[in-house]
Amino acid sequence: MAYLTRFVPQRLRGHHIDPTAWRRMDRAALKHLLGRIATYAIFLLIIIGIIKLVPRIWQDVQAGNPALVALAVPFEILSVAGYIVLFWAVYGAAAHRLAQGADTPARPLSLRESMQLTTSRLALGDTLPGGGATGFAVQFWALARAGFTAAQISRTTTAFLVLSNTVMTVMIMLLGILLGAGLLAGDLHPALTWIPAAIAASVVGVIIFFAWKGRRFVPPDPDAQQPVTGRFARTRTLLRDVSDRLPPGAYDAVRTLRRPWAIVGMLANPGFDFVAFYLGISAVTDPLPLSVMLMAYFIGQVGSLVPLPGGIGGVQGLAIGVLVAGGMDAHYATAGVLVWTGVALGTQIVWGMWQYWFLRKSIKRWQAEDDAAAAGGSGGGVASAPPTT
């Protein structure tokens, strides 16, 4: 009983519970209690839905076409390769601007080191609690070990995030407009066409504005900023941090588009992943019109922003919801999305865990190079070039 009542606010505990006690609760306690109730209610509904659908879903997966599932694997590998190329292009462009005195990484990453870092981040984000947040924490740790300052990591990572989500945002905007206007085949509710298109268009406008602003933007001194207090202090602090970091990162993202490899990575990552998504659905049922499949995939990618391991739950829930709204049976949509998820997670985890071992070796090499350079500098001479092996 003590375990169950620990979630109940102090004012509601006791042998004689006052039904009107909630009126005397402070706002924070009431908000916490309602949040708990909503969370448990949603969790219960999900469990009930899974219990009812699992037998049928498993039958659909067993009856699927294994050849299409196997065909999805190389496309998923190409998708991860595109992600690696984009990461390498962003940091390569930042290193190229180092000679101009910009705020850029001191040690440019090679393509091999970019592969080690990005695949390790994907694998750890897929397996550890916290999902993408945990993966980015590992990435920041590795970049700091490579000699990048906090400001360099923040600015370059912002540019990378802008570029890695550009195709998703633009496609949601274009598909929403074309589907909503009836110019593409597919029957979707306006809530899944015009509303996502309007939100995506707003995001594109904000990024363009910040990129224009970032040309002459000088970030304020963090030590000179006063802490935000009062109502909605946390939200106001977050908005201030975004307004300080997004302009230079968005401007760097626009400049990085001059590099052909950046465009290749931007298109290859979601493009090949969508092919794997399409094959996963086709393995268990007939796919919907291409426009609806694209909309389901890209709206599903918005769920990857939720800090869940591998984005599991967010990505799949949104993709399944759009497929069902487009006319696909719920059990077929769920089975197909789960097949694609298994291929994607399996590829990322196997590749990433293998590369994480090499990443640790690279970090040790970076540390040895920094120690050798520091020893050479303290001796009054010029340090020789560190070995590359």
- Residue-by-residue pLDDT tens, the chain, 389 positions: 444 444 444 444 444 555 555 455 556 666 666 766 776 676 667 666 665 667 777 777 777 788 999 999 999 999 999 999 999 888 776 655 544 444 444 567 788 888 999 998 888 777 765 555 667 777 888 878 777 777 777 788 888 889 999 999 999 999 999 998 888 887 888 888 999 999 999 999 988 988 888 877 766 666 666 666 666 666 666 666 666 777 888 888 888 888 889 999 999 999 999 999 999 999 999 999 999 999 999 998 887 766 555 455 678 888 998 999 988 988 888 889 988 988 998 898 889 888 888 888 888 888 887 778 777 765 544 344 444 33
On whether the CB atoms of residues 132 and 311 are closer than 8 A, the answer is yes
Provide the phi-psi class of 354: left if phi over 0, else alpha when psi is between -120 and 50, else beta: alpha
User: Both tokens of residue 346?
Assistant: 């399996």
- What token pair was written down for 146? 């490579």
- Look at residues 315, 344, 308, 338 and name the one whose alpha carbon lies nearest to residue 127: 308
For residues 122, 127, 133, 135, the Cα torsion angle rounded to the nearest 10 degrees is -40
- Catalogue the E-assigned strands of 254-361: none
Those residues with Cβ within 8 angstroms of residue 38's Cβ, 6 or more apart along the chain or in another chain: none
Cα–Cα distance between 163 and 168 in angstroms, integer? 10
d(CA 144, CA 154): 11
Q: Which residues contact 87 (CB under 8 A, 6 or more apart)?
A: 109, 114, 117, 118, 160, 265
Report residue 68 CA to chain centroid gap. 27
Tokens of 138: 């590992």
CA atoms of 29 and 65, how far apart (whole Å) = 52
pLDDT given at position 48 = 67
What is the rounded CA–CA span in Å between residue 90 and residue 153?
Answer: 12
Contact criterion met (CB below 8 Å) for 84 and 115: yes
The single-letter code of the amino acid at 242 is: V
- Give residue 387's pLDDT: 40
Q: Tell me the H-state helices in 181-232.
A: 194-213
Hey, how many other C-beta atoms are within 10 angstroms of the C-beta on 305?
14
Q: How far apart are CA 122 and CA 267, in angstroms?
A: 18
Gap between the Cα atoms of 312 and 331, Å rounded: 17
Q: What are the domain boundaries of the chain?
A: 27-63, 66-369
Count Cβ atoms below 10 Å from residue 151 Cβ, excluding itself.
Answer: 14
Q: Which amino acid appears at position 387 of this protein? A: P
What is the rounded distance in angstroms from the CA atom of residue 161 to the CA atom of residue 305? 11
CA–CA distance from 164 to each of 84, 103, 248, 289, 312 (Å)?
Answer: 11, 21, 16, 26, 19
Token pair listed for 326: 């487009």
CA-to-CA dists, residue 70 to 73, 123, 283, angstroms = 6, 20, 10
Query: Residue 217: which of 188, 241, 240, 251 has the closest Cα?
Result: 251
What's the pLDDT at 178? 93
Dmax over Cα atoms in the chain, in whole Å?
79
Per-residue tokens: 309: 């391991």
d(CA 369, CA 386): 6
Q: Which two tokens stand for residue 173?
A: 């905007």
Q: Give residue 8's pLDDT.
A: 45
Listed residue (273, 262, 349) closest to 85, CA to CA: 262
